[in-house]
Amino acid sequence: KALEHIVDTVLYFEGERHHNHRILRAAKNRFGAANELGIFEMTSKGLLGVPNPSEVFLSERPIGASGSAVLAAMEGTRPLLVELQALVSSSKFGTGRRTTQGVELNRVALLVAMLEKRVGMQLSGDDIFVNLVGGIALDEPAVDLGIVAAVVSSFRNIPLDEHTIVFGELGLAGEVRATSHAQLRLREAARMGFKRVVMPKNNLSGLETDDRIEIIGVRSVSEALDALF
């Protein structure tokens, strides 16, 4: 920590050995914004920058499979479209397990409890596995709606529309709260060819609309699920 105070910039080089992609994250930067993200791919010529990370993260997305949702996330000032997968299966032990990769375990447990209370879904006896594809980890609140969409899709065994993207923070009362950088997320979704976005209604004020994408604003998790299913 003393060394971090002395130097001008602190960079973290992240990645899993089973993935070709590496993430360079700026934790401290005296000459620019912190929490920026650079994504590189390990090739035969060494590390090469990835110009379109969203395309890479969505390149192997299954079409027509339940439990898969695409969410618009922010890493620093860069919008990223990533796939989040969930698997809900009956538990043989009466009490369901919660296993996550790339998202916080306690956050998933909180959202599942909210679904049981506000929507009436009985999930306590099911095992729930949540995975953020691509080896990336996200901790921003806007991934909440993506987690819920993937979990409900797997629970009902109904695939989400492949051209739909989601983002939004969820509260304990089931409300969908506004998130930051909604315009950047929307622009990235339209650029990647998505036709519809389900997002917080409070973000619609002052938002520049795009003819290429349909915007659905929701105030509660029930409205979001009605729009998605």
Number of Cβ atoms within 10 Å of the Cβ of 144 = 26
Q: What was the pLDDT predicted at 92? A: 78
Q: What was the pLDDT predicted at 89? A: 93
Q: What was the pLDDT predicted at 159? A: 96
Q: What was the pLDDT predicted at 49? A: 84
Q: What was the pLDDT predicted at 35? A: 66
Which residues, including other chains, have CB under 8 Å from residue 97's CB and lie 6 or more apart? 91, 127, 128
User: In the chain, which residues have pLDDT < 70?
Assistant: 16-18, 35
CA–CA distance, 53 with 99 (Å, rounded to integer)? 26
Q: Biggest alpha carbon distance in the chain?
A: 55
Three-state DSSP class for 2?
Answer: helix
If we measure between CA atoms, which residue out of 228, 184, 203, 204 comes closest to residue 81?
184
DSSP string, 142-207: GGHHHHHHHHHHHHHT-PPPTTEEE--EE-TTSBEE--S-HHHHHHHHHHTT--EEEEEGGG-TTP
Q: What was the pLDDT predicted at 88? A: 96
